[in-house]
């Protein structure tokens, strides 16, 4: 089974894909791919949304996930929420066009699943990602590491 985790954003949308071994009793995760989809700030919003649409479709075609996991919106600043919500709408559209099942998690659910503490800091979550995937270093950039955390959370829900 392949899981694609997504950390939604307009300027930077993180993605991370893992595969689960069907033969291993603990469904050990294996890293497939991770990265970000970036859109420049001074680009018109319509063009930025088109970039997200096209680039995410390319990621899905390359990774061939069986399930997509998405972090739910959570903001401290209200100024960005509309723009990120628009990007998230495009993400939902691309997932629907590919007829993929979608599961969503709050930031607290992701932190709880990976660290055992719903208010864990970003570093603790990123260290858990590296540990779960047997990586020597925390994946960079942060949005990609966050997307891998979403994918790993979905694995624990199966």
Decide: 49 and 90 in contact? Cβ < 8 Å: yes
The span from the CA of 131 to the CA of 129, in Å, is 5
**Pair of tokens at residue 21:** 């071994």
Tell me how crowded residue 46 is: count the other CB atoms within 10 A of its CB: 9
Which of 57, 74, 95 minimizes the C-alpha distance to 9? Answer: 74
Residue 71 designated active-site: yes
Q: At what angle do helices 45-63 and 81-97 cross, to 10 degrees?
A: 40
- Out of 55, 71, 132, 146, pick the active-site residue: 71
Residue 143 designated active-site: yes
- Out of 55, 132, 143, 146, pick the active-site residue: 143
Residue 7 designated active-site: yes
- Out of 7, 55, 132, 146, pick the active-site residue: 7
Show which residues are catalytic: 7, 71, 143
């Amino acid at each position: 089974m392949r899981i694609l985790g997504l950390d939604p954003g307009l300027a930077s949308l993180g993605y991370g894909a893992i595969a689960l071994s069907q033969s291993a009793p603990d469904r050990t995760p294996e890293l497939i791919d991770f990265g970000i989809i970036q859109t420049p700030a001074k680009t018109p919003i319509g063009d930025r949304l088109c970039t997200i649409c096209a680039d995410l479709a390319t990621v899905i075609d390359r990774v061939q996930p069986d399930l997509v996991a998405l972090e739910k919106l959570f903001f401290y600043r209200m100024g960005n929420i509309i723009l990120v919500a628009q990007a998230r709408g495009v993400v939902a559209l691309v997932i629907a066009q590919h007829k993929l099942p979608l599961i969503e998690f709050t930031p607290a659910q992701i932190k709880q699943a990976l660290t055992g503490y719903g208010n864990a800091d970003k570093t603790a979550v990123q260290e858990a990602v590296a540990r779960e995937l047997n990586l020597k270093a925390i994946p960079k950039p942060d949005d990609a590491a966050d997307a891998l955390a979403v994918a790993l959370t979905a694995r624990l829900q199966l």
